Amino acid sequence: MKSSIFSLMMLLASSALLVVTSAVAADYTLGIFGNANMDDTIDADDIAYVEGIIGGMNEATKLADANYDGKIDEEDIAQIELIIVGEEKELTIFDSANRIVTVNKPVERVVLLSTYSAEALRILGGQNTVVGVYSYIKQDEVYFPEFSKLPDVGYPADYEAILSLDPDLAIVFTAIETSVDEYAQNLPHVVVASLPLWKPETFLEELTKTSYILGDHNEANHYIDDFHDKYINLIKERTEELSEEDRLNVYVGGNRNSDLYSSLAAKSGAQQMIDLCGGRNILADIDASGVDIDPEVVMEKNPDIIIRYIKSEDAGYQYDDPSKIKALWEDTMNRPELTNVNAVKNNRVYIIDSGLNYGLDYPVAMTYWAKLFHPDLFEDLDPKTIHQEYVTEFQGLDFDISEHGIFVYHPDLYPGGR
């Protein structure tokens, strides 16, 4: 199941502010030793910067020690040259748990302990390196047909099963250092790297790091330039000019088990999604993310739009029956306390698969949101076509989203849940 760990992720997201604009602008520092000038790539500018350090003209940076031997010298220039052409024997990175990890190259045997890393490796063309997957990937024969045939390494991880596969690298979901260290302690002689690849403000850097580990950046650049930035920037450019009057009030609910009043919006990732797509979060001034909201608050704030999440166990690529997503919509529309709320009166309640909002298909979700918020502003935008583009071109699946899967429901717009 593509987003079976969504409930865990929401607990993390409730305390982590997702800064969409940083992902769009790619204004992160790529945490790879060799990125001497501390930008978002490794290129000839890094060679020049190291030359400047050696010549006394530039200040040393923590990533200038490209070969990670404790000094900055000509050997670092040689290492950067190798990284640029993909011929380095070792690559040292900061992973997402802020651990320094050295990977031996080439990487030929990988174990995946998250669904998002599986999506990433398909984007990067690294499927053939995967020798084992965690249980939720194994169980999803629809979205992960090729990976579902590989050995199951458990969830929680079965360390003996992992070791039996003799992997070079294990990519884990957690970004908590102590948790990653536990993996590393139980997997001697296996490089363990935290690359969760799910939060919008970090997954582009993580994808780029993964592409350097695998040795080919072209596919990562293709996804970033021709899909992620293309659609996120399009949305951002149109909505940032909206006046406050044109921004509709939005309530997002359904954090835990799709309960309507378990809020996902207050001071969380949903806040940034609402802002990006041209809405106004009715809970922006309430520190209530991930906790139950008093229905009286929603009634008083009177949202123009309600987005309610359906849990991943009832929606996604592996489901075709719209009865559960339709039932959630009907439940929301028929709540007596919401009778006089604008979203219900004006038929602007939408149910969305929670799994679309995180991971590398996140731009797909944003096109749905933008279209639902401002159909006139995005008259030329077709989320279903963009969704199909992601599935076909970037995941390589023979899967027709017009015929299969449950993703978005509104009886007038998406009557079949797709």
Residue reference for tokens 């948790």: 179
Query: Does the N-terminal peptide bond of residue 167 adopt cis geometry, omega within 30 degrees of 0?
Result: no
As a whole number of angstroms, the distance between CA 200 and CA 365 comes to 12
The structure's pTM equals 0.90
Identify the architecture of domain 31-89 in CATH: Orthogonal Bundle (1.10)
Identify the architecture of domain 95-216 in CATH: 3-Layer(aba) Sandwich (3.40)
pLDDT value of residue 171: 97
Residues carrying CATH 1.10.1330.10, the chain: 31-89
pLDDT value of residue 327: 95
Per-residue DSSP letters for 68-137?
A: -SSS-SHHHHHHHHHHHHT--SEEEEE-TTS-EEEEESS---EEEESHHHHHHHHHHT-GGGEEEE-HHH
Q: Which residues does the chain have with pLDDT short of 70? A: 1-26, 255-258, 263-269, 287-291
Identify the architecture of domain 228-409 in CATH: 3-Layer(aba) Sandwich (3.40)
pLDDT value of residue 21: 36
pLDDT value of residue 272: 85
| Tokens (6 digits) for 225 | 């330039």
Residues carrying CATH 3.40.50.1980, the chain: 95-216, 228-409
As a whole number of angstroms, the distance between CA 360 and CA 395 comes to 10
Q: Which residues pair with 103 in a beta bridge?
A: 91
The per-residue pLDDT for range 263-308, each reduced to its tens digit, is: 665 555 688 899 999 999 998 887 655 567 889 999 999 999 999 9
The per-residue pLDDT for range 143-161, each reduced to its tens digit, is: 999 999 999 999 999 999 9
pLDDT value of residue 23: 39
pLDDT value of residue 134: 94
The DSSP letter of residue 311 is P
Phi and psi based region of residue 279 (left: phi greater than 0; alpha: psi -120 to 50; beta: remaining): beta
pLDDT value of residue 397: 97
Distance linking the first and last C-alpha atoms of the chain: 17
